[in-house]
Amino acid sequence: MSYNTFPLGTILFNALFLLVAIAIESYVFHTRGRRLDKKASVAYATCVNLFANVLGWIIFFAIEPTLPVNVKTQLISFVFFNQLDSPDANFQSFIIMVGFLIFFATFLLKFGGLRLLEIALKYPLAEPEKINTLTINRRSYKTKLQSRNMATGVLLANSFSYSAILLILVLRSLEVRQIAG
């Protein structure tokens, strides 16, 4: 072979999405829900995102060989030429469904990852707050509601980071269309 192809764009985008997700999610972990301190929230967001990312890749590698040829060609078309081959409505709704599934799968992975991380680091993310009727003031009551469960925090963080990534993708596709047109 006189040439070689290298998925540089894929790697750079993956790295960019990881950085964006870690930045946003550590901010969410820091300001909402359990209110982790800065260092811990960055570390938690990093671990959880790396974990979800690796598992996502592994699932992709497991599914990829079994894909039917028409789906595979769409995938190849996207990776190599940054376009979907035949934009028929069926396929578009399929993509939307896949995106939807991926969102909830990542949420579950991140939630599970956080649990695993808690076990691995052997210190709980936050002690369950003791209900002390005397010291309840409005603020702590509010925090308690917010920190009611970890799942809400992860869901929130995941939604924010996915929105940001989606925004990047949309901006990119607009730019690509401009260059191409």
Partner 1 sequence: MEYILKLLKPVTDFLGRILRVFNPPRIFSWQTLIYLSIFSWIMASISVGIISNLIGLCGWIFLILATAWYTTDNPLRVFGIPLGALITGALVSVFLFGGGRPETGLTVHSFVFWPTVTALITGIPEFIESGKGKLPSPDVRQRIIILIGVAAVISCWLQFYFVMQNWLQEFPTLQSDTFNRQGLVVRVGEPTTTPTNGIRILNQLDAAVKEELEDRPWSEVERWLIEGKQRVGSLSQEVIQDNLAKYDEKVLWRVQPRVTNLKPVKSGYNLELYAVWNGPSSDPRRYYLSKSCRITPISGGIPQKNSLARVSCSQVSRKPIRGLPPQQL
Q: Does 97 help bind partner 1 (rule: CB under 8 A)?
A: no
Helix axes 89-121, 38-63, angle to 10 degrees: 130
Query: Please, what is the Cα angle at 177 between 10 and 78, to 5 degrees?
Result: 35
CA distance 46 to 122: 17
Between 145 and 179, whose beta carbon lies closer to partner 1?
179
Other Cβ atoms closer than 10 A to 9: 10
Q: Does 80 help bind partner 1 (rule: CB under 8 A)?
A: yes
CB of 128 to partner 1, least distance (A): 20
Contact 90, 130 (CB under 8 A): no
Interface pick for partner 1 out of 78, 94, 100, 141 (rule CB under 8 A)? 78
CB of 61 to partner 1, least distance (A): 6
Q: What residues line the site for partner 1 (CB under 8 A)?
A: 2-11, 13-14, 18, 43, 46-47, 50-51, 53-54, 57-58, 61, 64, 69, 72-74, 76-83, 85, 117, 120-123, 176, 179-180
